[in-house]
Amino acid sequence: MATDYYATLGVAKDATPEQLKRAYRKMARELHPDVNPDADAQARFQEVTTAYEVLSDPKKRQIVDLGGDPMSSGGGAGAGAGGDPFAGFGGLGDIMDAFFGGGGPGGGRGPRSRVQPGSDALLRLELTLEECATGVNRDITVDTAVLCDACDGGGSRAGSAPSTCDTCGGRGEVQSVQRSFLGQVMTSRPCPVCRGFGEVITDPCQQCSGDGRVRARRTITVKIPAGVGDGMRVRLAGEGEVGPGGGPAGDLFVEVEELPHERFTRDGADLHCTVEVPMTAAALGTTLTLETLGGVNEELRVEPGTQPGAEHVLTGQGLPKLRSNGKVSGHGDLHVHLDVVVPTRLDDQQAELLRQLAAARGEEQPEPTVTANGNGHRSGLFSRFRSFGQR
Q: Which of 142, 135, 221, 168 is nearest to 57 (CA)?
A: 168
Alpha-carbon distance of 386 to 361, in angstroms, equals: 34
Q: Is 148 annotated as a binding residue?
A: yes
For 59, the 3-state DSSP assignment is: helix
User: Residue 124 is which amino acid?
Assistant: R
CB count within 10 Å of CB 357 equals 11
Q: Which of 167, 201, 171 is nearest to 62 (CA)?
A: 171
Alpha-carbon distance of 391 to 387, in angstroms, equals: 7
- If phi > 0 it is left, if psi is from -120 to 50 it is alpha, else beta; for residue 6 that is alpha
For 367, the 3-state DSSP assignment is: coil
Q: Is 132 annotated as a binding residue?
A: no
CA distances in angstroms from 306 to 155, 360, 366, listed in the order given: 76, 20, 20
Tell me 118's DSSP state: P
Alpha-carbon distance of 158 to 149, in angstroms, equals: 11
User: Residue 258 is which amino acid?
Assistant: E
CA–chain centroid gap for 329, Å, is 23
Q: Is 191 annotated as a binding residue?
A: yes
Q: Is 273 annotated as a binding residue?
A: no
Buried b / exposed e along 330-354 (16+ C-beta atoms within 10 A): ebbbbbbebebeeeeeeeeeeeeee
Q: Which residues pair with 323 in a beta bridge?
A: none
For 153, the 3-state DSSP assignment is: coil
Q: Is 151 annotated as a binding residue?
A: yes
User: Residue 65 is which amino acid?
Assistant: D
- Helix, strand and coil content of the chain, in percent to the nearest 5, comes to 25, 30, 50
Give the phi and the psi of residue 146 in degrees, each rounded to 5.
-120, 165
Quick check: 320 and 269 in contact, CB under 8 A? yes
Question: Kind of pairing, strands 136-147 and 213-224?
Answer: antiparallel
- Known binding-site positions: 148, 151, 165, 168, 191, 194, 205, 208
Q: Which residues fall in the annotated binding site for Zn(2+)? A: 148, 151, 165, 168, 191, 194, 205, 208
